[in-house]
Chain A
Amino acid sequence: MLSKVDIPAVFISVIFAGIGFYVFVSAESFTRLGAIFPKFVAILLIALSLIAAFVGITRRDHLRPARIVPMRPVLIAVVMILWIAVLPKIGFVLSGIIAFLAIALVIPEATAPRTRTFVQTLIAAIVIVSSFYFLLRYGLNVPLPRGILGI
């Protein structure tokens, strides 16, 4: 489906240009030597953003994807973000198992979900998360966050 203006790209370009301005202004408070690079990159960023925005508006041959924001990938991101947020509180193993299941649920399946696959996923979650826990904690001496249950 052809569309007139590549709106997302233009939007992003404008934001990038804004970032460029912010960086340039912030660089005023750096030392002389330390401000050279930021200012240079900021100018480059602004210039390129303007070009990209221009191209996005004038070139009218962009293909729009069927859905601007596909739901499921966003859900995966949400699960991961929540996971990272609770990681220090609940601990690696517990949060890992829960998140594992949650992500597995979000992945679309060709066949309808059955209890058997759920159990299989649960076992996989427990085994995989624990294996990594033991590998890291005892194999590599990397202490992973432990939460209220000590794991």
Chain B
Amino acid sequence: MSSKNLLSGAILVALASSFAADSSFATDLATYPNRTVTLTVGFGPGGPSDISARFLQKYFAEVTGQDLVIINKPGGGGALSWAEMNGLEPDGYALTLVSLPHIILQPIVTPGVGYAFEDITSVLMYTSVPQVLAVPIDSEIETLEDFIAMAREKPGQMTIAGTGSGGSNHSAHHLFDQAAGITTTYIPFRDTASTVAALKGGQTTAAWTWTTQGVVDGDLIRMLGIAADERMAVFPDLPTIKEQGVDMADQAWWTIGIPKSASEDVRRKVAEVLKEVMNHPQMSEDMLEAGYNPFIVDYDQLAEFKKDLFDLYVPVAEAIRN
């Protein structure tokens, strides 16, 4: 009996001390990061935003010596992770992936989404991905011109797949139709995989998707135009939609966010470290090849950048809200 007591006592002491070593202390900025950093991604594993975060994960350990752990929290097209963001520890070790223009569109299109644009704080923008308008490879539509011509012939009859309702693809659809003066019908799908599957199977006439998808599917889909201001190196022959006469551009931008209550010092430190990771020589190459656009907007310029985007997208949100 007493030996059992001793045994339990010993176990308790051993465990207690190992737990004590575990507790968190206040952020020591000079040595940040000195333990594992978690990054919450509000989308499912394997999706475009998740993969962009995993590129970060890959080189984070090399650059900082600590692990970046990704926690997937899909829900509401990212809304869940952004609603919970400000409840996390503001010590710089609990980061959240924040997508634009999602955080602009969602609070307007979906009331009750649980957060407001002003409450979301980002420290660094690290990548952008332009959207593309694509058709199946065996479609009779060969160019953007053909697409617009067909849309004019049969208003509302062309179906365009996209991911989610009130998300990026939806806004691209709206902006394009508006700029080209046509009417097509938007068909929302659950996630990028389903959207692309529908496209390839010819279930819809066309689809709005991302350049990253274009990298994967090169031979099975035909991209008609890229919704960016400039062509991408990975697709030198793909003209922009602007080049082809329709004045619109629509991308997704991904930033790393931190709880609102994090101090200025913490924010800058995190931004600094992440920038270092992004500057890893291999990083740009990897991301470009995969169809991403490593695109850095530093902490100081970020607030204004977001404000400009906000002004741009509010009317879009109000238009697609039904």
Interfacial residues, chain A to chain B (CB-CB below 8 A): 31, 93, 115-116, 119, 122-123, 126-127, 130, 141-143, 146, 149-151
Contacts and interface: CB of A to CB of B under 8 A. Distances in A.
B216 interface: no
Nearest to A143: B38
Interface of B: 1, 4-5, 7-8, 11-12, 15, 19-20, 22-24, 36, 38, 67, 69, 71, 322
B94 to A, nearest CB: 9
A53 to B, nearest CB: 34
Nearest to B94: A143
A141 B67 contact: yes
- Of all A-B residue pairs in the complex, the 5 with the closest CB atoms, nearest first, are A150-B23, A151-B19, A141-B69, A119-B4, A130-B15
A123 B7 contact: yes
A150 B19 contact: yes
Contacts of A151: 19, 22-23
Contacts of B67: 141
B25 to A, nearest CB: 10
B173 to A, nearest CB: 17
19 contacts: A93-B19, A115-B1, A116-B1, A116-B4, A119-B4, A123-B4, A123-B11, A126-B12, A126-B15, A130-B15, A141-B36, A141-B67, A141-B69, A142-B71, A149-B23, A150-B22, A150-B23, A151-B19, A151-B22
A146 B88 CA distance: 13
Contacts of B20: 150
Contacts of B8: 119, 122-123, 126
Nearest to B70: A141
Contacts of B4: 116, 119, 123
Contacts of B24: 146, 150
A115 B23 CA distance: 33
A59 B72 CA distance: 50
Nearest to B93: A143
A126 B11 contact: yes
A122 B71 CA distance: 33
Contacts of B36: 141
Contacts of A149: 19, 23
Contacts of A143: 38, 69
Contact of B11 (A127, A142, A150): A127
B322 A31 contact: yes
A129 to B, nearest CB: 10
Contacts of A127: 11
